[in-house]
Chain A
Amino acid sequence: DSGVTQTPKHLITATGQRVTLRCSPRSGDLSVYWYQQSLDQGLQFLIQYYNGEERAKGNILERFSAQQFPDLHSELNLSSLELGDSALYFCASSVDLARNTGELFFGEGSRLTVL
């Protein structure tokens, strides 16, 4: 158990719909990362937040957005869903202290199926 909690674990929805994925980082971790893993693309970095602010952005589509709240949990919003958005979405968190090892702790993922 990494200490990172993601909900829901599974989600099935239709094209054109909007979904929200939620991530609770490990206690004390200030950074949250979102990754997408589809069958043909491997693990792709989407976006990173640090203490509520966007820190880095990867190949995240404009239809996708994320935010990190004051309690440090994060949400990834996916809208106008397409079949190709079907994937595993992972959240990770990391420590940001003087002795930061750079290790990321990953949740178990949210599996999104778009029909």
Chain B
Amino acid sequence: DAKTTQPPSMDCAEGRAANLPCNHSTISGNEYVYWYRQIHSQGPQYIIHGLKNNETNEMASLIITEDRKSSTLILPHATLRDTAVYYCIVRPRPHTGTASKLTFGTGTRLQVTL
């Protein structure tokens, strides 16, 4: 799986947008970008994933650069409950009958403050 680089920590004021960057310069054509987060000692939670187009769901937006070498996870209106470690993971999308593990890096610790 391609390696990712994330800043170790970020702060964000509550109500503001949190923009979490991720570099994945060695990503290959069949690899997707996944984002997970882990709220203190809880199980990691899936947020969003994408291949090359920008994606949005009820939790967040994912912006992937045209060359796919980096991406940004956007939490549009951060709340205190969004304080967590955010992991950017790159891996191939599994095909039918298979499933591939997730390799977690060190992630970005996002602290949302009042």
Contacts and interface: CB of A to CB of B under 8 A. Distances in A.
B99 interface: yes
Interface residues of A, number: 32
Contacts of A97: 96
How large, as a class, is the contact surface on chain B? Answer: 20 to 34
Given A94-B99, A96-B96, A97-B96, A102 B43 contact: no
B94 to A, nearest CB: 5
Interface in A66-114: 88, 90, 92, 94, 96-98, 100-109, 111
Interface string A19-30: 000000000001
B99 A102 contact: yes
Interface string B5-45: 00000000000000000000000000010100010011111
Contacts of A30: 99
B103 interface: yes
Given A2-B43, A90-B43, A96 B49 contact: no
Contact of B44 (A55, A56, A90): A90
Contacts, number: 75
Classify the interface of chain B: helix, strand, loop or mixed. loop
Interface of A: 2, 4, 30-31, 33, 35, 42-43, 45, 48, 50, 55-56, 58, 88, 90, 92, 94, 96-98, 100-109, 111
Contacts of B94: 94, 96, 100, 102
Classify the interface of chain A: helix, strand, loop or mixed. strand
Interface of B: 32, 34, 38, 41-46, 49, 87, 91, 93-106
Nearest to B48: A103
Contacts of B98: 50, 55, 96
A88 B41 contact: yes
A30 B46 CA distance: 18
Contact of A42 (B34, B100, B104): B104
B59 to A, nearest CB: 12
